[in-house]
């Protein structure tokens, strides 16, 4: 087990954002799904904020055709800033989009061959150090961000970590599912040992109802396993299968996230996230609450 080795800090994060976003068409015909806003921030911004809160410096976007807007979002917008300054407007609102020069790297995934393949496409930038992965569709909102919670746990146990959460048993087939082991004694309460991992199992074959929820801290050896390019569920190169092969040779734990998760890969999840986050915003909560109550009060009326 590599827990005896010094624990290397997590400095890099990979964001697989090459997907076509077909579930949100026609909205995503000309703009990336990750740029759809939840209140006034694009979805990708929440994941990047979470990474920075966790102390991660370098952002690696695995992009594809038509995804340039994501990179533009994190670039300096000279004309916009000069115009705003000329009008005496504060630029503070753009602060979250500022990335230190050299800390944003993009690589392309030319063909959609699965999440494992997307991560493998970033191998040259990841190099030989542990790294984080964020699936931006999974919006994780907590007092302390999900990745920060994971990094805190990682600093105790090292190795590999994934965030998990419980879903109704009938939903497990849409996800990676873990076979949970013991809770390691004397460590963070949220930690559970991972004894097995399976991608999109049949309900009857699922080892639990604890699903992999889109945040990972992995050791670089996973890249060697991905290099074999073996296909799994859905004929895709699955990250879950590669991670499963690390179990036994490296420490592998799950962190139960303390906070709320919104599945922004689905339209209803997106609406839920929008409403929930608007209700938490001091500048609009009262108005949105009144609006929601009015709409719900009249839910018996069908619109014309």
Closer CB to ligand G1P, 99 or 232, in the complex: 232
- Binding of ligand G1P by 138 (CB under 6 A): yes
Q: Nearest to residue 162, comparing CAs of 198, 129, 128? A: 198
- Binding of ligand G1P by 176 (CB under 6 A): yes
CB of 36 to ligand G1P, least distance (A): 16
Instruction: Enumerate residues 6+ apart whose C-beta is below 8 A from 166.
Output: 209, 210, 211
Closer CB to ligand G1P, 99 or 222, in the complex: 222
Closer CB to ligand G1P, 135 or 153, in the complex: 135
Length of the chain: 304
Find the part of the chain contacting ligand G1P (CB under 6 A) among 33-41, 79-87, 184-192, 210-218. Answer: 210-218
- Binding of ligand G1P by 199 (CB under 6 A): yes
CB of 101 to ligand G1P, least distance (A): 32
- Binding of ligand G1P by 214 (CB under 6 A): yes
In the complex, residue closest to ligand G1P by CB:
176
- Binding of ligand G1P by 175 (CB under 6 A): yes
- Binding of ligand G1P by 211 (CB under 6 A): yes
135, 146, 206, 247: which one binds ligand G1P (CB under 6 A): 135
Find the part of the chain contacting ligand G1P (CB under 6 A) among 28-36, 126-134, 148-156, 209-217. Answer: 209-217
Closer CB to ligand G1P, 135 or 255, in the complex: 135
CB of 153 to ligand G1P, least distance (A): 19
In order of 33, 146, 157, 282, the CA distances from 185 in angstroms are 42, 22, 11, 40
- Binding of ligand G1P by 240 (CB under 6 A): yes
- Binding of ligand G1P by 225 (CB under 6 A): no
- Binding of ligand G1P by 115 (CB under 6 A): yes
CA angle 131, 137, 139 (to 5 degrees): 85
What are the phi and psi torsion angles at 178 (to 5°)?
-105, 150
Closer CB to ligand G1P, 60 or 236, in the complex: 236
Q: Are 269 and 263 in contact (CB under 8 A)?
A: yes
CB of 292 to ligand G1P, least distance (A): 27
Closer CB to ligand G1P, 116 or 158, in the complex: 116
Find the part of the chain contacting ligand G1P (CB under 6 A) among 49-57, 73-81, 208-216, 246-254. Answer: 208-216
Both structure tokens of 51: 């990474």
Q: Which residues bind ligand G1P (CB under 6 A)?
A: 115, 135, 138, 175-176, 199, 211-214, 239-240, 265
């Amino acid at each position: 087990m590599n827990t005896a080795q010094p624990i290397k800090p997590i400095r890099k994060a990979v964001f697989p954002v090459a997907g076509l976003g077909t579930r949100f068409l026609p909205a995503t015909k000309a703009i990336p799904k990750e740029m759809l806003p939840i209140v006034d921030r694009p979805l990708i911004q929440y994941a990047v904020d979470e990474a920075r809160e966790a102390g991660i410096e370098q952002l690696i976007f695995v992009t594809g055709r038509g995804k340039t807007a994501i990179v533009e979002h994190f670039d300096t917008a000279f004309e916009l800033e000069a115009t705003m300054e000329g009008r005496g407007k504060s630029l503070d609102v753009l602060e979250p989009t500022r990335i230190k020069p050299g800390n944003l790297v993009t690589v392309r995934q030319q063909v959609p061959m699965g999440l494992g393949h997307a991560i493998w496409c970033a191998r040259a930038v990841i190099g030989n150090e542990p790294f984080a992965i964020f699936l931006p569709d999974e919006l994780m909102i907590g007092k302390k961000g999900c990745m920060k919670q994971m990094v805190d746990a990682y600093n105790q146990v090292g190795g590999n970590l994934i965030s998990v959460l419980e879903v109704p048993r009938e939903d497990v087939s849409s996800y990676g599912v873990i076979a949970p082991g013991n809770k390691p004694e004397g460590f963070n309460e949220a930690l559970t040992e991972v004894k097995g991992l399976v991608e999109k199992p049949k309900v009857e074959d699922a080892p639990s109802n604890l699903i992999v929820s889109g945040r990972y801290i992995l050791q670089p050896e996973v890249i060697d396993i991905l290099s074999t390019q073996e296909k799994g569920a859905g004929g895709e190169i699955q990250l879950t299968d590669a991670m499963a092969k690390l179990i036994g040779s490296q420490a592998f734990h799950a962190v139960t996230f303390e906070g709320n998760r919104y599945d922004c890969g689905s339209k209803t999840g997106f609406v839920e996230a929008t409403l929930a986050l608007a209700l938490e915003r001091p500048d609009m909560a009262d108005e949105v609450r009144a609006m929601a109550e009015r709409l719900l009060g009249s839910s018996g009326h069908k619109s014309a």
